[in-house]
Chain A
Amino acid sequence: MTQGSARVVAADTATPAPRSVWRRAWSSGGIGYGFVLPAMVIYLAVILFPVLQGFRFAFTDWNGLNRQINYVGLANFSRMFGDMQVRSAVGTTLIIAGALVVIKVTLGLLLALIVDRNLKSKHYLRLVFFMPVVLTPIIVSYMWKYMFSNDGTLNTLLNLFGIEGLRWLGDPTLALVSVIIVTSWQSVGLSMVIYLAGLQAIPPELHEAATIDGASTLQRSWYVTLPMLAPATTVCVVIAMIQGLRFFDQIFALTRGGPGYATETLSTMIYRISFQFGEFSYGAAVAVVFSLIVAVIVLPVMYFLRKQEVAVG
């Protein structure tokens, strides 16, 4: 006891020993930065640096090969505003994004409500509806391309009912509908899972209380279920919107933007300008404007939906 007290006194009165840099870093949480550092380096090299380079190239005349890169100011941007194909691609992109949001939110919620019921087959149905999500978009697209072909599954089915086969990918309007069908088919399972998680997080007591208060099934759905699903809706809408705006793989595999420019989106257009025409600087300029369009659309929507969530909460 005495010895112990003496040691404590000695420790208190002694001058503190200088701590090593490593020890100080450890105690101030610096080791955390150490763990993050490799990921940060990769992020900077693979994501941030190319993004900044792309932004720089938008103001140059770089064609992918010229060693002497000249700055051309806003020339690429002014060219873009007179380019009818860019306007057409913006329109198509917005149509696809809008359609995807509506379809994914509506169908996703509907499917979630179905598989949330106490059905015997609910686990099987969940698996079936979610399975397309884990498939590679290119493989899905080629599978559907076969189904859309002249003698494909869909036209064969129509013929069985005496209906003439449709020009699924050959007609400009139908081609746009076809690519929306394929993407919706593949991604609606994700919305279903998000909504299902939301449904299962609703405390049963809320429904019980509403029932005691005399609320009908419809009223419970409207006043309890839907408001409680607001966070899930935010996630679904934002994901669908971003997916719709940057839609590329399925279009590239199904139509390559055709027939004509009927299914050309900004993503396929950027690819075509940059890699098929070798006009990298112009492609970069379109990409910069595309990023701004995505931000201008998605950020206010996110803000609005989050505000709704807070109001519900």
Chain B
Amino acid sequence: MTSSKENQSTPATAQISRRAVVGAAAAFGLTGGLLGRAGNAYAQSFKGELKILCDAAKRSALQSAVDKFGKLNPDLTIRLNAASVDQLMATVRMQLSSGTAPDVLPVWPGSGVPLSVHQIAPGGFLANLSDQPFAANTPAFARDVIEVGGKLYWFANQPSVIGPIANMRVMKKVGITQQPRTWTEFLATCQKLKDAGVVPLALGTSTQWITQLITYALVATTVYADNSQFPEQMKAGKATFTGSGWEEALTKYMELNQRGFFNPNPNGTSFEESQKMVASEKAAMVVHTAGTVAGLIAAAGHSDFVMWPLPGRDNAAQTRVPVGITNGYGVAESSKNKDAAKAFLRFNNQTEIQEDWARITRVPVFGMPPEKTDPIYVEVMRYVNEGKGALYMDNKWPNPRVQEAHFVGITDLLAGKAKVTDVLGRMDIAYKAA
């Protein structure tokens, strides 16, 4: 159980304190353990139809849970549909407003995207889940991007982290054995890879959401190491992107480009191509989210990968890791089978099912004990558990236009059509337009 003191003292977008994460983990472990033993909590059998919609990347994990839940409820017809994130963003809002939304639907934290909980819950489209057992697991560090008005409307079960994912087989071939711990060391590592004829960093910014990842990995250090209250200051109108650590981060992003550390033509390269480059050992690293690791392993045919924190400065003690909450699941208020939908989410909260999620998605879940953490994440999760995490930046942005300005700004920078100050200026305008 997370103490109330921690809840009050930990701002949602501040650096994530060790106590908050460990507290969340302990809370989850306790609740999950209790739930895991309380098998007869699912003795009630549900009937009718249960429609579930999910992000395509999570289909396998959800399918596994659906199969197991279906066995406990033979009279319940469960229909699982998956779609890309773009499709979900485009269609689910319309389904919600027209009362045709699936019973269980994907929900994102904060307010930065159309399906963010702060955008859809206030309209009364999501059922209140505050009375569900998993409500107690809400991690304190992200409480205000998960909850709305102190109420819980979705089941958020997985964190995500961003960092360079290194193909260790390439690293060993080139003779790199040490993790770079400062910005200068990182540049030296990239140079060594480049000299060996390997692309140091694969980058596929023709897939829009990829554009933001290197920025976030750097901003975690260049902004949050100095000022954990930056989002709150922005909200109060006391800080802007321009003139902040964002400038340092974007300048360093472009330094990587100028030094030739990316593959040629990143703006014409897709996420899939960048992943293929690392899997096929044409490139050594790619800065992606934990959610992409399963695909990378499948493409490479081995799991010899490690995710590191991206050091943003030459003081290693300042290094921070972007950590966020991946999309989870809410229950539509208009659902005709609300009890079954809630039971399905409770079912997913069981220890066994959570372990399935971690195994299938190759993404950590809240409360996973360190010895069970995937070796790929051991180093990066150490930073998170030491309180050196910074919440995903867009979680606290007031509207999706800021993210769009960032996406477009990065592609403009890579195309040489804008300067760092232009991009930050556009982001400031988009932020204030809310």
Contact = CB atoms under 8 A, between A and B. Distances in A.
Given A171-B415, A172-B415, A277-B114, A258 B267 contact: yes
Nearest to B93: A64
B219 to A, nearest CB: 21
Contacts of B189: none
B123 A278 contact: no
A258 B206 contact: yes
B208 A167 contact: no
Contacts of A148: 268
A7 interface: no
B418 to A, nearest CB: 8
Contact of B119 (A67, A168, A175, A278): A278
A67 B125 CA distance: 11
B401 A259 contact: no
Interface residues of A, number: 27
Interface in A138-172: 148-150, 165, 167-172
A3 B434 CA distance: 93
B208 A258 contact: yes
Contacts of A260: 408, 411-412, 415, 417-418
A277 B265 contact: no
A66 B119 CA distance: 10
Given A170-B269, A259-B411, A261-B408, A65 B401 contact: no
Interface string A240-263: 000000000000000110111100
A170 B91 CA distance: 29
Interface string B411-431: 110110110000000000000
A67 B206 contact: no
Interface residues of B, number: 36
Contact of A150 (B90, B123, B273, B399): B273
Interface in A244-288: 255-256, 258-261, 271-272, 275-278
Contact of A149 (B91, B125, B269): B269
B115 to A, nearest CB: 9
B197 interface: no
B96 interface: yes
A67 B97 CA distance: 8
A259 B267 contact: yes
B263 interface: yes
A63 B278 CA distance: 41
Given A150-B273, A259-B206, A278-B114, A66 B415 contact: no
Which of B97, B206, B270, B401 counts the most A-chain CB atoms under 10 A from its CB? Answer: B206
Interface in B78-137: 86, 89-91, 93-94, 96-97, 114, 119-120, 123, 125
Given A65-B119, A65-B125, A275-B90, A255 B273 contact: no
B120 A65 contact: yes
A74 B400 CA distance: 23
29 contacts: A64-B94, A65-B96, A65-B97, A66-B123, A67-B123, A149-B268, A150-B264, A165-B264, A167-B267, A167-B268, A169-B268, A170-B265, A170-B266, A170-B268, A170-B269, A171-B267, A171-B268, A171-B415, A172-B415, A172-B417, A175-B268, A258-B206, A258-B408, A259-B411, A275-B90, A275-B114, A276-B404, A277-B114, A278-B93
Interface of B: 86, 89-91, 93-94, 96-97, 114, 119-120, 123, 125, 205-206, 208, 263-270, 273, 399-401, 404, 408, 411-412, 414-415, 417-418
Interface of A: 64-67, 148-150, 165, 167-172, 175, 255-256, 258-261, 271-272, 275-278
